[in-house]
Amino acid sequence: MIETIQIGHLLRETAAFPYRNLVTRPTGAAVRNRIEDTLSRSDCLTALLDFSDVELLDFSCAEEIVAKLLLAQASHRPRFVVLRGLREDQHDAIEQVLTHHHLAVAALITDGEPMVLGWVSPDARVAFACVCRLGRACTGDLADALGWPEPRASEALEALTLHRLVRPEGNLRYPLLVA
């Protein structure tokens, strides 16, 4: 099950004025609290955060919303988190704050392939793209598709699993969402 959360909608509900820009730490923290509140009442396995009606996302809000949400998810009830509707400048902010924390998140880019934002190895990025392309993969599938030795494919899949960038079912790994 997927819980889709419109971040722009939450911003307008949270702020005193109808702002389009996600700026300042208190605003980011307030929006994150609303997200956590929604998720606490949901049985979903995956949270899809939709940024498509947000204009600006500054570093402080990227930190307060995305990084702290991932950190909290890791320590409470683990969910898969996917971002959608991000523009290039918004990637910049999220990429920087997640790299700082050694975190990563899957993102669906408008008119583009699913991608990883944050801190993962180059191999894990390639493996992520490959799993998305194949629809599902075990270590052997990945090794075959990329021409890698199995230990290398295994290590990359393990990294994706640890970062909750793919959904594990037995030996198989599935993309969180399809673009």
Partner 1 sequence: MTRVIEVPAHFDDRSFDQFAAGFGAWPQEEKLLVDARAAQWASPYGLIGMLTAGQAIAEAKGERPLFTVPTSDEVKRYWARVGFFRHAADLFELHGRVPKAAATGPSDVLLDVTPVRAMEDVHQVVEKISETASRILHGELGLERNATMRFSMALSESCQNIVEHAGTSGWVAVQVYTFRRRLGRRVAVIAVSDAGIGFRRSLESTHAKRFGERWGDGAALEAALIQGVSRFRDPGRGQGLAGIKGFLDRWKGKISIRSGSARLSIVPAWDDDLPLADHLPFFPGAQVQITIPAQEAESR
CA distance 76 to 61: 21
Among 6, 14, 60, 139, binds partner 1 (CB under 8 A): 60
Residue with token string 């700026």: 23
Task: Verify binding: residue 8, partner 1, rule CB under 8 A.
Answer: no
CA distance 7 to 96: 20
Among 9, 76, 77, 100, binds partner 1 (CB under 8 A): 100
Among 43, 88, 111, 169, binds partner 1 (CB under 8 A): 88
3-state secondary structure of 86: strand
Task: Verify binding: residue 83, partner 1, rule CB under 8 A.
Answer: no
CB count in 10 Å sphere of residue 121: 13
Task: Verify binding: residue 112, partner 1, rule CB under 8 A.
Answer: no
Among 7, 31, 39, 93, binds partner 1 (CB under 8 A): 93
User: DSSP letter at 71?
Assistant: H
Amino acid type, 162: L
Fill in the per-residue mask, 22 to 51: x = in contact with partner 1 (CB under 8 A), - = not in contact: -xxxxx------------------------
Q: Give the dihedral sign, CA 81/63/114/144.
A: negative
- Which residue ranges make up the site for partner 1 (CB under 8 A)? 15-17, 19-21, 23-27, 55-60, 63, 67-68, 87-90, 92-93, 96-97, 100-101
